[in-house]
């Protein structure tokens, strides 16, 4: 590539992130480690690529650079069931949430936050590595809301401690942003809680530290995205252009003007650009109806709120 092309092209890490391989920071690490090639040569940090360049990561199928893609990223909501893993590779061959997702060409689905094997509720998938990073990275402190059923009940002192000082676990302290008593019957008690981190099994470990084993755990919100009440276990719903744009705005990512305008026109006509939708006989109107039916607020469970800092 000559100097003029380098100035005109897209940064390599951005292109890789847009292809769904990971966040820009992760892609920078891949490039520094020599895992990426451009036109057969090992890539370097700061490199730009232009239409026609052939990019490979880990010597796998090439990513061909096309004219700037102005389409909005795709975003799916999935109601995870207990007994499913959030991983593509599992030695035990257990059921994976990725088995339920529509196939993509030239991209891959990225799970925004994980849920463990025995936890159900809201999972978000996107084709944008940048969007996934904005929602998951600890520095953005995006809220996660859970409904949890425990064996026993918290004392008032324990509830105050969780909201003020927090509880110290083996990997550091944890504090809930909100904690609400939802009542219960017999030995089981329900609570609704909000926290701004996604450490492994942090909710279960916190209640276990208080001597209250968790018997049921469900994520009901991630950031401004709610689990739609009508989205039953094992069901998927794709967000429409308006909801995707709202999420991009909320995390501080600017949607390309052409993408926003194109999406609005297509949505107004009830049309779709996706080959898999056309092959399945679905129309934009069909998908809007399915998403709207699942939504507690707006069209697809996206609500307004304060953006991550």
Q: What is the DSSP pairing of strand 41-42 with strand 48-49?
A: unpaired
Of the listed 69, 116, 249, 277, which one is catalytic? 116
CB 136 within 8 A of CB 142: yes
Annotated catalytic, 89? no
Q: How far is CA 286 from CA 128, 231, 239, 280, in A?
A: 24, 16, 12, 11
d(C-alpha 213, C-alpha 210), whole Å: 8
Give the three-class secondary structure for 145: strand
d(C-alpha 43, C-alpha 51), whole Å: 16
d(C-alpha 100, C-alpha 200), whole Å: 23
- DSSP structure string for 236-270: EEE--HHHHHHHHHHHTPPPPHHHHHHHHHHHHHT
Report, as residue numbers or ranges, the catalytic residues.
116
């Amino acid at each position: 590539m000559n100097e003029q092309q380098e100035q005109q092209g897209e940064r390599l890490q951005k292109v890789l992130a847009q292809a769904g391989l990971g966040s820009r920071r992760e892609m920078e690490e891949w490039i520094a480690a020599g895992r990426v090639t451009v036109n057969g040569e090992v890539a370097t940090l700061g490199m730009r690529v232009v239409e026609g360049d052939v990019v490979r990561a880990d010597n796998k199928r090439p990513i061909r650079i096309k004219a700037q893609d102005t389409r909005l990223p795709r975003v799916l909501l999935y109601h995870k069931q207990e007994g499913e893993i959030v991983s593509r590779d599992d030695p035990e061959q257990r059921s994976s949430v990725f088995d339920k997702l529509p196939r993509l060409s030239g991209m891959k689905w990225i799970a925004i936050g994980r849920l463990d094997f025995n936890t159900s509720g809201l999972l978000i998938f996107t084709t944008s590595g940048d969007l996934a990073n904005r929602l998951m990275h600890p520095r953005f402190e995006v809220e996660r809301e859970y409904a949890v059923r425990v064996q026993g009940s918290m004392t008032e002192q324990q509830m105050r401690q969780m909201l003020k000082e927090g509880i110290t676990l083996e990997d550091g302290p944890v504090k809930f942003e909100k904690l609400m008593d939802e009542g219960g019957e017999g030995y089981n008690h329900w609570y609704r809680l909000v926290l701004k981190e996604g450490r492994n099994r942090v909710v279960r470990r916190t209640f276990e530290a208080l001597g209250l084993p968790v018997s049921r755990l469900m994520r009901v919100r991630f950031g401004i995205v709610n689990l739609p009440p009508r989205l039953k276990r094992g069901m998927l719903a794709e967000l429409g252009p308006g909801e995707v744009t709202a999420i991009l705005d909320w995390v501080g990512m600017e949607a390309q003007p052409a993408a926003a305008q194109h999406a609005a026109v297509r949505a107004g006509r009830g049309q779709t650009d996706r080959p898999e939708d056309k092959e399945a006989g679905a129309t934009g109107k069909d998908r809007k109806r399915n998403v709207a039916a699942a939504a507690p607020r707006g069209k697809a469970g996206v609500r307004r709120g304060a953006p991550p800092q």
